[in-house]
Structure 1
Protein backbone atom coordinates (compact mmCIF):
# COMPACT_ATOMS: atom_id res chain seq x y z
CA UNK A 1 0.00 0.00 0.00
CA UNK A 2 1.23 3.46 -0.95
CA UNK A 3 0.10 6.70 0.68
CA UNK A 4 -0.69 9.70 -1.51
CA UNK A 5 -1.57 13.33 -0.85
CA UNK A 6 -3.64 15.75 -2.91
CA UNK A 7 -5.86 18.81 -2.58
CA UNK A 8 -7.93 21.28 -4.55
CA UNK A 9 -9.43 18.95 -7.15
CA UNK A 10 -12.48 21.26 -7.37
CA UNK A 11 -14.38 18.75 -9.52
CA UNK A 12 -17.06 20.49 -11.57
CA UNK A 13 -15.99 23.99 -10.54
CA UNK A 14 -15.63 26.30 -13.53
CA UNK A 15 -14.50 29.12 -11.25
CA UNK A 16 -11.27 27.24 -10.55
CA UNK A 17 -10.34 27.25 -14.22
CA UNK A 18 -10.72 31.02 -14.36
CA UNK A 19 -9.35 32.04 -10.96
CA UNK A 20 -6.32 29.74 -10.96
CA UNK A 21 -5.85 29.80 -14.74
CA UNK A 22 -5.99 26.05 -15.15
CA UNK A 23 -5.29 25.02 -18.77
CA UNK A 24 -8.69 23.49 -19.53
CA UNK A 25 -11.46 24.55 -21.90
CA UNK A 26 -14.15 23.39 -19.46
CA UNK A 27 -14.80 21.39 -16.28
CA UNK A 28 -15.48 18.17 -18.18
CA UNK A 29 -11.94 18.29 -19.60
CA UNK A 30 -10.43 19.18 -16.19
CA UNK A 31 -12.39 16.52 -14.33
CA UNK A 32 -11.55 13.81 -16.88
CA UNK A 33 -7.81 14.52 -16.66
CA UNK A 34 -7.78 14.55 -12.84
CA UNK A 35 -9.77 11.28 -12.73
CA UNK A 36 -7.53 9.64 -15.35
CA UNK A 37 -4.28 10.65 -13.62
CA UNK A 38 -5.57 9.75 -10.16
CA UNK A 39 -6.56 6.24 -11.23
CA UNK A 40 -3.38 5.74 -13.27
CA UNK A 41 -1.36 6.57 -10.13
CA UNK A 42 -3.41 5.28 -7.19
CA UNK A 43 -4.20 1.57 -6.85
CA UNK A 44 -7.44 0.40 -5.23
CA UNK A 45 -5.62 -0.60 -2.00
CA UNK A 46 -3.61 2.64 -1.70
CA UNK A 47 -4.45 5.42 0.74
CA UNK A 48 -5.11 9.03 -0.28
CA UNK A 49 -5.27 12.06 1.98
CA UNK A 50 -7.34 14.73 0.22
CA UNK A 51 -6.57 18.04 1.88
CA UNK A 52 -9.75 19.79 0.90
CA UNK A 53 -11.78 21.50 -1.79
CA UNK A 54 -13.14 18.39 -3.43
CA UNK A 55 -15.99 19.48 -5.70
CA UNK A 56 -18.31 22.34 -6.55
CA UNK A 57 -21.50 20.36 -5.81
CA UNK A 58 -21.61 18.27 -2.64
CA UNK A 59 -24.25 16.02 -4.21
CA UNK A 60 -21.61 14.88 -6.74
CA UNK A 61 -18.96 13.90 -4.18
CA UNK A 62 -20.12 10.31 -3.54
CA UNK A 63 -20.10 9.66 -7.29
CA UNK A 64 -16.55 10.97 -7.58
CA UNK A 65 -15.39 8.91 -4.61
CA UNK A 66 -16.83 5.75 -6.18
CA UNK A 67 -14.85 6.41 -9.37
CA UNK A 68 -11.52 7.28 -7.70
CA UNK A 69 -9.14 4.52 -6.63
CA UNK A 70 -7.91 4.17 -3.08
CA UNK A 71 -9.07 4.52 0.50
CA UNK A 72 -9.79 8.23 0.78
CA UNK A 73 -9.48 10.53 3.82
CA UNK A 74 -10.76 14.11 3.71
CA UNK A 75 -9.52 17.12 5.62
CA UNK A 76 -12.09 19.85 5.03
CA UNK A 77 -11.27 22.82 2.82
CA UNK A 78 -13.00 26.17 2.68
CA UNK A 79 -15.15 24.90 -0.21
CA UNK A 80 -16.26 21.68 1.53
CA UNK A 81 -19.64 22.04 3.23
CA UNK A 82 -20.99 19.47 5.70
CA UNK A 83 -22.65 17.54 2.85
CA UNK A 84 -19.21 16.90 1.30
CA UNK A 85 -17.97 15.43 4.58
CA UNK A 86 -21.12 13.31 4.85
CA UNK A 87 -20.73 11.78 1.37
CA UNK A 88 -20.48 8.01 1.24
CA UNK A 89 -16.97 6.85 0.42
CA UNK A 90 -14.70 8.65 2.86
CA UNK A 91 -12.61 6.43 5.16
CA UNK A 92 -12.34 9.40 7.54
CA UNK A 93 -13.10 13.11 7.65
CA UNK A 94 -11.77 15.94 9.76
CA UNK A 95 -10.24 19.37 9.73
CA UNK A 96 -6.68 18.49 10.77
CA UNK A 97 -4.53 15.39 11.18
CA UNK A 98 -1.10 14.42 12.40
CA UNK A 99 0.27 11.19 11.00
CA UNK A 100 3.64 9.49 10.77
CA UNK A 101 4.89 8.14 7.48
CA UNK A 102 8.34 6.79 6.73
CA UNK A 103 9.62 8.02 10.07
CA UNK A 104 8.43 11.58 9.38
CA UNK A 105 5.76 13.36 11.35
CA UNK A 106 3.28 15.07 9.03
CA UNK A 107 0.87 17.82 10.01
CA UNK A 108 -1.97 17.84 7.48
CA UNK A 109 -4.57 20.53 6.91
CA UNK A 110 -6.19 22.32 3.98
CA UNK A 111 -4.54 25.54 5.08
CA UNK A 112 -0.81 26.30 5.24
CA UNK A 113 0.39 27.16 8.72
CA UNK A 114 2.79 29.82 9.89
CA UNK A 115 3.83 27.40 12.64
CA UNK A 116 2.82 23.81 13.42
CA UNK A 117 3.37 21.06 15.94
CA UNK A 118 6.92 19.73 15.76
CA UNK A 119 7.98 22.34 13.21
CA UNK A 120 11.42 22.76 14.76
CA UNK A 121 11.84 19.02 15.28
CA UNK A 122 11.53 18.12 11.61
CA UNK A 123 7.79 17.66 11.17
CA UNK A 124 6.35 18.69 7.80
CA UNK A 125 3.24 20.74 7.04
CA UNK A 126 1.36 19.42 4.00
CA UNK A 127 -1.50 21.61 2.80
CA UNK A 128 -3.61 22.73 -0.12
CA UNK A 129 -5.56 25.97 -0.55
CA UNK A 130 -2.92 28.13 -2.22
CA UNK A 131 -2.81 26.36 -5.61
CA UNK A 132 0.98 26.49 -5.72
CA UNK A 133 1.14 30.26 -5.40
CA UNK A 134 2.27 30.70 -1.81
CA UNK A 135 5.92 31.03 -0.97
CA UNK A 136 6.29 28.26 1.61
CA UNK A 137 8.32 28.10 4.73
CA UNK A 138 10.95 25.38 5.21
CA UNK A 139 9.36 21.92 5.63
CA UNK A 140 6.04 23.20 4.24
CA UNK A 141 4.55 21.74 1.06
CA UNK A 142 1.49 22.46 -1.06
CA UNK A 143 0.22 19.07 -2.24
CA UNK A 144 -2.56 20.43 -4.45
CA UNK A 145 -3.22 19.21 -7.96
CA UNK A 146 -2.00 22.50 -9.41
CA UNK A 147 1.49 21.72 -8.09
CA UNK A 148 1.68 18.02 -9.05
CA UNK A 149 0.31 18.04 -12.60
CA UNK A 150 -3.22 17.17 -11.45
CA UNK A 151 -2.04 13.93 -9.84
CA UNK A 152 -1.84 12.73 -6.22
CA UNK A 153 1.75 12.73 -4.92
CA UNK A 154 3.66 10.41 -2.61
CA UNK A 155 5.70 11.81 0.26
CA UNK A 156 8.85 10.94 -1.70
CA UNK A 157 7.63 13.05 -4.64
CA UNK A 158 6.75 15.89 -2.30
CA UNK A 159 10.19 15.81 -0.67
CA UNK A 160 11.92 15.58 -4.06
CA UNK A 161 10.16 18.78 -5.14
CA UNK A 162 11.68 20.84 -2.31
CA UNK A 163 14.52 22.38 -4.30
CA UNK A 164 12.42 23.45 -7.27
CA UNK A 165 9.10 24.42 -5.69
CA UNK A 166 9.17 24.56 -1.94
CA UNK A 167 12.31 26.20 -0.69
CA UNK A 168 13.63 23.18 1.21
Structure 2
Protein backbone atom coordinates (compact mmCIF):
# COMPACT_ATOMS: atom_id res chain seq x y z
CA UNK A 1 0.00 0.00 0.00
CA UNK A 2 1.42 3.43 -0.92
CA UNK A 3 2.72 5.64 1.86
CA UNK A 4 2.79 9.41 2.39
CA UNK A 5 5.97 11.35 3.16
CA UNK A 6 6.86 14.91 4.15
CA UNK A 7 10.07 16.89 3.63
CA UNK A 8 11.33 20.41 3.01
CA UNK A 9 14.24 22.72 2.32
CA UNK A 10 16.40 20.61 0.05
CA UNK A 11 17.88 23.75 -1.54
CA UNK A 12 19.12 21.77 -4.57
CA UNK A 13 21.98 23.63 -6.25
CA UNK A 14 22.48 26.05 -3.32
CA UNK A 15 26.17 25.88 -2.45
CA UNK A 16 25.99 28.30 0.49
CA UNK A 17 23.39 26.22 2.40
CA UNK A 18 26.16 23.71 3.16
CA UNK A 19 27.95 26.28 5.32
CA UNK A 20 24.82 28.11 6.52
CA UNK A 21 23.40 24.90 8.01
CA UNK A 22 26.61 22.88 8.54
CA UNK A 23 25.41 20.21 6.14
CA UNK A 24 27.79 17.22 6.01
CA UNK A 25 28.66 17.51 2.32
CA UNK A 26 31.93 18.49 0.61
CA UNK A 27 30.21 20.34 -2.23
CA UNK A 28 26.85 21.01 -3.84
CA UNK A 29 27.08 18.07 -6.27
CA UNK A 30 27.66 15.66 -3.39
CA UNK A 31 24.75 17.21 -1.47
CA UNK A 32 22.36 17.03 -4.42
CA UNK A 33 23.23 13.40 -5.20
CA UNK A 34 22.91 12.37 -1.52
CA UNK A 35 19.52 14.10 -1.23
CA UNK A 36 18.26 12.31 -4.36
CA UNK A 37 19.58 8.92 -3.15
CA UNK A 38 18.08 9.41 0.34
CA UNK A 39 14.70 10.41 -1.12
CA UNK A 40 14.58 7.33 -3.35
CA UNK A 41 15.72 5.02 -0.54
CA UNK A 42 12.72 6.15 1.54
CA UNK A 43 10.05 6.82 -1.10
CA UNK A 44 8.66 4.27 -3.53
CA UNK A 45 7.27 5.00 -7.00
CA UNK A 46 3.65 4.76 -5.80
CA UNK A 47 4.12 6.90 -2.67
CA UNK A 48 3.13 10.55 -2.26
CA UNK A 49 5.54 13.24 -1.06
CA UNK A 50 4.52 16.65 0.26
CA UNK A 51 7.52 18.96 -0.20
CA UNK A 52 7.03 21.97 2.07
CA UNK A 53 9.11 24.42 0.10
CA UNK A 54 12.54 25.68 -0.91
CA UNK A 55 13.16 22.84 -3.32
CA UNK A 56 15.73 24.12 -5.83
CA UNK A 57 17.91 27.12 -6.63
CA UNK A 58 18.64 25.76 -10.12
CA UNK A 59 17.15 26.70 -13.49
CA UNK A 60 14.18 24.96 -15.09
CA UNK A 61 16.14 22.30 -16.99
CA UNK A 62 18.32 21.26 -14.03
CA UNK A 63 15.37 21.34 -11.61
CA UNK A 64 13.29 19.21 -14.01
CA UNK A 65 16.15 16.72 -14.26
CA UNK A 66 16.22 16.34 -10.48
CA UNK A 67 12.43 16.05 -10.11
CA UNK A 68 12.34 13.36 -12.81
CA UNK A 69 14.82 11.29 -10.79
CA UNK A 70 12.73 11.39 -7.58
CA UNK A 71 10.25 8.65 -6.72
CA UNK A 72 6.62 9.30 -5.93
CA UNK A 73 3.77 11.66 -6.65
CA UNK A 74 5.20 15.04 -5.71
CA UNK A 75 3.19 17.91 -4.19
CA UNK A 76 4.96 21.23 -3.58
CA UNK A 77 3.84 23.91 -1.14
CA UNK A 78 5.75 26.97 -2.27
CA UNK A 79 8.46 28.23 0.07
CA UNK A 80 9.92 31.72 0.27
CA UNK A 81 12.63 30.80 -2.27
CA UNK A 82 10.06 29.16 -4.62
CA UNK A 83 7.38 31.84 -4.79
CA UNK A 84 9.21 34.11 -7.24
CA UNK A 85 8.81 31.48 -9.93
CA UNK A 86 5.08 30.81 -9.49
CA UNK A 87 2.92 27.69 -9.72
CA UNK A 88 3.17 27.21 -13.48
CA UNK A 89 6.99 27.16 -13.41
CA UNK A 90 7.01 24.39 -10.78
CA UNK A 91 4.35 22.38 -12.62
CA UNK A 92 6.40 22.66 -15.80
CA UNK A 93 9.48 21.56 -13.81
CA UNK A 94 7.67 18.33 -12.95
CA UNK A 95 5.72 18.62 -9.71
CA UNK A 96 2.36 16.86 -9.90
CA UNK A 97 0.60 19.49 -7.78
CA UNK A 98 1.67 22.92 -6.51
CA UNK A 99 0.01 25.01 -3.80
CA UNK A 100 0.71 28.65 -3.06
CA UNK A 101 -0.95 28.27 0.34
CA UNK A 102 -0.80 25.94 3.35
CA UNK A 103 -2.84 22.72 3.24
CA UNK A 104 -4.63 20.74 5.94
CA UNK A 105 -3.88 17.01 5.86
CA UNK A 106 -6.09 14.44 7.61
CA UNK A 107 -8.06 17.23 9.36
CA UNK A 108 -5.25 17.71 11.89
CA UNK A 109 -1.88 18.43 10.24
CA UNK A 110 -1.44 21.99 8.98
CA UNK A 111 1.22 21.86 6.23
CA UNK A 112 3.09 25.10 5.52
CA UNK A 113 6.53 26.31 4.56
CA UNK A 114 7.02 28.86 7.32
CA UNK A 115 5.95 27.91 10.86
CA UNK A 116 2.48 29.27 11.59
CA UNK A 117 1.25 30.71 14.85
CA UNK A 118 -0.48 27.94 16.80
CA UNK A 119 -1.92 28.46 20.26
CA UNK A 120 -2.75 25.62 22.65
CA UNK A 121 -6.43 25.77 21.70
CA UNK A 122 -5.87 25.21 17.98
CA UNK A 123 -6.67 21.63 16.94
CA UNK A 124 -3.70 21.29 14.59
CA UNK A 125 -0.07 20.30 14.49
CA UNK A 126 1.87 22.56 12.12
CA UNK A 127 4.22 20.48 9.97
CA UNK A 128 6.58 23.04 8.46
CA UNK A 129 10.01 23.80 7.11
CA UNK A 130 11.87 27.09 6.67
CA UNK A 131 13.81 27.25 9.95
CA UNK A 132 16.29 24.48 9.08
CA UNK A 133 18.26 23.43 12.19
CA UNK A 134 16.10 25.38 14.63
CA UNK A 135 13.18 23.80 16.44
CA UNK A 136 10.09 25.11 18.19
CA UNK A 137 9.29 23.72 21.61
CA UNK A 138 5.88 22.23 22.27
CA UNK A 139 3.46 19.86 20.63
CA UNK A 140 2.01 22.19 17.99
CA UNK A 141 4.99 22.28 15.60
CA UNK A 142 6.92 19.61 13.72
CA UNK A 143 9.95 20.85 11.74
CA UNK A 144 10.34 18.65 8.67
CA UNK A 145 13.49 20.35 7.28
CA UNK A 146 15.99 17.83 5.97
CA UNK A 147 18.41 18.79 8.77
CA UNK A 148 16.02 17.12 11.26
CA UNK A 149 15.28 13.98 9.27
CA UNK A 150 18.63 12.58 8.22
CA UNK A 151 18.33 14.39 4.86
CA UNK A 152 15.45 12.20 3.73
CA UNK A 153 11.64 12.42 3.70
CA UNK A 154 9.79 11.23 6.81
CA UNK A 155 6.70 9.06 6.60
CA UNK A 156 3.35 10.31 7.81
CA UNK A 157 3.31 7.42 10.31
CA UNK A 158 6.63 8.56 11.84
CA UNK A 159 5.35 12.13 12.22
CA UNK A 160 2.00 11.01 13.59
CA UNK A 161 3.65 8.69 16.09
CA UNK A 162 6.12 11.39 17.22
CA UNK A 163 3.27 13.85 17.76
CA UNK A 164 1.16 11.30 19.67
CA UNK A 165 4.11 10.32 21.87
CA UNK A 166 4.97 13.96 22.68
CA UNK A 167 1.33 14.75 23.51
CA UNK A 168 1.11 11.74 25.83
CA UNK A 169 4.48 12.53 27.45
- For the criterion TM > 0.5, the same-fold answer is yes
Partner of 2:64: 62
Match of 1:98 among 94, 97, 104: 104
After the TM superposition, which parts of structure 1 deviate over 6 Å for at least 4 consecutive aligned residues? 163-166
Q: Which runs of 5+ in 1 are unaligned?
A: none
RMSD of aligned residue pairs (Cα, Å): 2.4
Whether the aligned pair in 2 keeps the contact of 1:61 and 1:87 (CA below 8 Å) is no
CA deviation after TM superposition for structure 1 residue 121, in Å: 5.3
Instruction: Compare the two structures and name the one with the higher strand fraction.
Output: 1
Whether the aligned pair in 2 keeps the contact of 1:17 and 1:24 (CA below 8 Å) is yes
Summarize deviations over 1:85-141 as a string: whole Å, max 9, x none: 2433212111311121xxx5211110001227xx63542110000113132442210
**Count of aligned pairs between the two proteins:** 162
TM-score (norm 2): 0.85
- Structure 1: distance between partners of 2:137 and 2:161: 15
CA deviation after TM superposition for structure 1 residue 165, in Å: 9.6
Any residues of structure 2 matched to 1:1-168 within 5 Å, and which?
A: 1-59=2-60, 60-80=62-82, 81-82=84-85, 84-95=89-100, 96-100=102-106, 105-115=108-118, 120=121, 122-161=123-162
